[in-house]
Structure 1
Amino acid sequence: MKIFSVEERVSFFETDASGIVHFMFVLRYFEIGEREALRMAGIKVGDPGRGGVHIPRVHVEVNYHHPLFYDDQIEVRTLCECIGRTSLTWHHEIYRGDERCVSGTMITVLLNKETGLPQPIPCQWRRYLQVEEGESL
């Protein structure tokens, strides 16, 4: 299965004065979805000195459909929508129950740890993350 899902609960510090999730914390949820997808693929992200890879975000788009509130139980669904030569395009959706509250895309680029330049996505990543025909969130 290429759709990755993780459950979270909205924390108080993620909300603004009106009790609604501050827009920037949605990116944190997207990152959690991406991290879990990569972790399940056996890909360690982070400090290259500790075996991790560097995959910075280069583009993000977010659509806010319904507000999220303090203590909401949410589900972050993540799908690697497109695998380019050096990039991964992630599609994320955040649900509260059956209600889609947020959707968006995030593009990341795999960098070579020595040169800091983009490098090709490994074949084993492609096999694990590739979307199967007809699969969507």
Structure 2
Amino acid sequence: MPDAYEFDLAVRYYETDAQGHVHHSNFLRYFELARVEMLKARGHEYADLEADGVLLVVSRATCRYHRPARYGDTLRVLIRTERARGARIDHVYELRRNDELIAEGATTIACVDRTGKICRLPAYLELPEAE
């Protein structure tokens, strides 16, 4: 899996709240979209993982909000894989509007089978250990 990926995301009207800001819950959706897009960039589809009985579930998620985002903004979504070994993937995220940091976060993803039992990541998702 590539250790970093980025793409642009246009904020949609329905993602905003009564104050005109992106609702806080949508930032976790943006993080999920980043994981899916990064997987696609590597030539894999999440549906193929599921068909093979491999499920990736969020076991931890954090988000720190710095600035509001609004309808019509284009956000640059950056995702970086910090660790992908065994049954665990750790990602970090940044959302930027131009050079302005809007939000940053992190997730830990666990690999499980259809019964919920922890299992090893497919080899193509693993990163080599840092030395």
- Per the normalisation by structure 1, the TM-score is 0.83
| Post-superposition offset of 1:89 | 0.7
TM-align CA RMSD: 2.3
Is there any run of 5+ residues in structure 1 with no aligned partner, and where?
Answer: none
Q: Which residue of 2 aligns with 1:118?
A: 118
| Post-superposition offset of 1:103 | 0.2
Contact 1:62 1:104 in 2 (8 A): yes
Distance 1:47 1:3, change over 3 A: closer
- Per the normalisation by structure 2, the TM-score is 0.87
Distance 1:8 1:44 in 2: 20
| Post-superposition offset of 1:102 | 0.4
Distance 2:23 2:39 in 1: 26
Q: Which residue of 1 aligns with 2:88?
A: 87
Which is strand-richer, 1 or 2? 2
Whether 1:67 and 2:71 are equivalent positions in the alignment is: no
Distance 1:108 1:117 in 2: 14
Larger deviation, residues 45-54 vs 21-30: 45-54
Aligned residue pairs, count: 130
| Post-superposition offset of 1:40 | 1.8
Identical columns (%): 27
Distance 1:37 1:108 in 2: 14
Distance 1:24 1:131, change over 3 A: farther
Q: Which residue of 1 aligns with 2:107?
A: 106
| Post-superposition offset of 1:51 | 4.7
